[in-house]
Structure 1
Amino acid sequence: MKIVFITGLSFFMSIYSWFIPGLPLAKQEAATIPVCHTSGNDMSAMAADPAFQRLHEAPLPFTYTGAGEMIKFSTPDGQSANGFLLKSKKPSNKWLLVYQEWWGLNDNIKQQSETFYNDLKDVNVLAVDMYDGKVATEPAEAGKLMQAASKDRLSSIMKGAIAYAGPKAEFASVGWCFGGMLSLQSAMLEGNRAKGCVMYYGRPEQDVDKLKTLDTDVLGIFGSQDKGISPESVKEFEKNMEKAGEKVTVKMYDAGHGFANPSNPVYNKEAAADAYKLALGYLKNKLKA
């Protein structure tokens, strides 16, 4: 399929690349900030890296007082998981799965979930708790939580959320940072019921064979100033999506990592508003009746 690329406000090549051609692997690791975020246990080394943690400033205090309820659902590993549910006022088989930043399912994610819920209308919105009830407020704390999140458990939680929605459910997903990566992984798990996928500055899957399993296109929203997800790694993702025969639309903003989070000190109001408008239009089109 053809790749659609939307030119960002100011696109430039970051010196922090995933791989530096011609440099031995050991020296690559020393020369770069780890790419946010690798899947499964590979996250551990990056989550503990002080340079990686410095990409994520502590969120500003925020308390959510809106609608929605916390729920529990079964997971295929024999445990249970949590989610924040905003159920459609009318019966609907349309679902938006929302995936948290590395902080956890905090009040900012609940607020963003309600915003999508109010604007999408007649869509069930489920923000999935990937840390089993734990929430961080400081980078070092978030790093420990991400280190402890095993690949198997993350996969089981996503599968449980998909099963909770029911066999007739149709899905779109959205996530930021850690959740941007999970949004893409979730779309793969949803199979032919996946209708859309939005990933905000999350680590792209680069395995072409895995990308071939997608049954939906992807909207990728990134920042050209992001030192964790470099423009180079995004370019690599585009190339690999093309190799996989999949479609990706990329929007690159002149902003840093976490620019769309209003509780983040690096919040970019103008870029965040434009990105949300883009994401909302995409999701409305994908989840239309």
Structure 2
Amino acid sequence: MAVAGDAAHFQKVRIQREDTTFDAYVVGKQDAPGVVVLQEWWGVNNQVKNHATHISQIGHGYRALVPDLYRGKVALDAAEARHLMEGLDWQGAIKDIQASVKWLKENGSPKVGVTGYCMGGALAIASGVLVPEVDAVVAFYGTPSSKFVDPSRALAPIQAHFGELDTYVGFADVTAAKSLEEKLKSCGVPHEVHIYPGCSHAFMNTSPEALKNQGAIDLAWSRFATWMARFL
């Protein structure tokens, strides 16, 4: 198995949408169901590639694709990450996601899900509303602005994961999680919203804190696997 986070085992592809192209990184079996994996506000770093590698090896395997929404930029600190996220064209990012889903379907994946973390989690939920080609969504600790998208109009099944101690008010805290759940109840698509006791924001990432949250991480991955297997 390739070393997690090692770019060598990813295939770099160029994806066309409208009058622009962007890079994406693909790993996994070509004819497997696809999963578009969306970055945190940092950009396409080793953390999101580690998640994609893990996803590619779940169950019978998935073909994971990480689109570079920032066009090569990767933040080194939180201030820069916030600047990059605030500068992101979210409508354009949704078009990137749609093009990524279509690319996977045109290149051997019969069905395609979308997952994401933090900013990517919010975009994953938005894609479940705005991109009809999406077959399932799993979002981690992020919700889209109500000005951008209304989750009560979701088309795809959505599963979402949040940490009980998350302090990103209105975006990923318990209040945001429960608000999302209420909206999903009204749309009629299958949905699950899970809140993990003792966990803060970004609890799925490799960090010293992750060691004490390993049970929650394992449970979240198990739920992810079950959800994607059900719909993909």
Give yes or no for contact 2:41–2:118 (8 Å, CA) kept in 1. Answer: yes
The structure 1 residue matched to 2:201, chosen from 245, 254, 257, is: 257
Number of residue pairs the alignment of both structures matches: 221
* One of 37, 48, 65 as aligned partner of 1:109: 48
- 1 CA distance for matches of 2:28 and 2:221? 21
Q: Does 1:274 align with 2:213?
A: no
Aligned to 2:135, the other structure's residue is in SS state strand
Instruction: From 175, 189, 199, give the equivalent of 1:232.
Output: 175
2:84 to 138, 145, 168: 145
- Distance across 1 between alignment mates of 2:26 and 2:137: 19
Amino acid at match of 1:283: M
Query: Match of 1:273, as an amino acid?
Result: D
The one-letter amino acid of 1:245's match is G
In the alignment, the residues of structure 2 paired with residue 148 and residue 84 of structure 1 have an alpha-carbon distance, to the nearest angstrom, of 22
Aligned-pair CA distance for 1:250: 1.4
SS for the counterpart of 1:103 is coil
SS, match of residue 119 in structure 1? coil
2:124 aligned with 1:183: yes
CA–CA distance in structure 2, aligned partners of residues 102 and 164 of structure 1: 23
TM-score of the aligned structures, taking structure 2 as reference length: 0.85
Inter-partner Cα distance in structure 2 for 1:219 and 1:95: 17
Partner Cα separation in structure 2 for residue 237 and residue 104 of structure 1: 25
Alignment of 1:197-212 (within 5 A): 197-204=137-144, 206=146, 210-212=150-152
Whole-Å separation in 2 of the counterparts to 1:122 and 1:225:
32
Q: Which has the larger radius of gyration?
A: 1
CA contact (8 A) 2:141 2:201 kept: yes
Instruction: Judge which range, 243-252 or 275-284, deviates more.
Output: 243-252
Return the letter of the residue paired with 1:109: V
State how far apart, in whole Å, the 1-side matches of 2:102 and 2:228 are. 21
2:229 is matched with 284
Query: In structure 1, what is the Cα distance between the partners aligned to 2:84 and 2:204?
Result: 22
CA contact (8 A) 2:5 2:49 kept: no
Aligned with residue 185 of structure 2, among 237, 242, 247: 242
Separation of aligned partners in 2, 1:274 and 1:122: 18
Which stretches in structure 2 are left out of the alignment for 5+ residues? none
Determine which structure has greater relative contact order: mean sequence separation of CA pairs < 8 Å that are 6+ residues apart, divided by chain length: 1
Deviation of 1:63 (Å): 5.2
Distance in 1, Cα, partners of 2:5 & 2:35: 23
The residue type paired with residue 203 of structure 2 is F
In structure 2, C-alpha distance between the alignment counterparts of 1:199 and 1:144, rounded to whole Å = 22
Partners of 2:12 and 2:52 lie apart in 1 by 13
C-alpha distance in structure 2 between counterparts of 1:177 and 1:65, whole Å: 22
Residue 128 in 1 paired to residue 128 in 2?
Answer: no
Q: Is the 8 A contact 2:38 2:121 kept in 1?
A: yes
* Contact 1:81-1:129 at 8 Å conserved across structures: yes
Aligned residue number for residue 222 of structure 1: 162
Secondary structure of 1:194 counterpart: coil
Distance 1:65 1:165 in 2: 19
RMSD, aligned CA: 2.4
- Hey, what's the Cα distance between the residues in 1 that align with 2:144 and 2:180? 6
Letter in 2 for 1:185: A
Q: Which runs of 5+ in 1 are unaligned?
A: 1-61
* 2: CA distance, partners of 1:123 / 1:273: 18
- Which position in structure 1 is the counterpart of 2:95? 156
C-alpha distance in structure 1 between counterparts of 2:110 and 2:145, whole Å = 25
Pair 1:212–1:271, CA change in 2 (3 A): closer
Identity of aligned residues (%): 21
**Distance in 1 between the 2:131 and 2:90 partners?**
17
**Conservation of the 8 A alpha-carbon contact between 1:88 and 1:121:** no
Q: Which 4+ residue blocks in structure 1 deviate beyond 6 angstroms?
A: none
Amino acid at match of 1:113: A
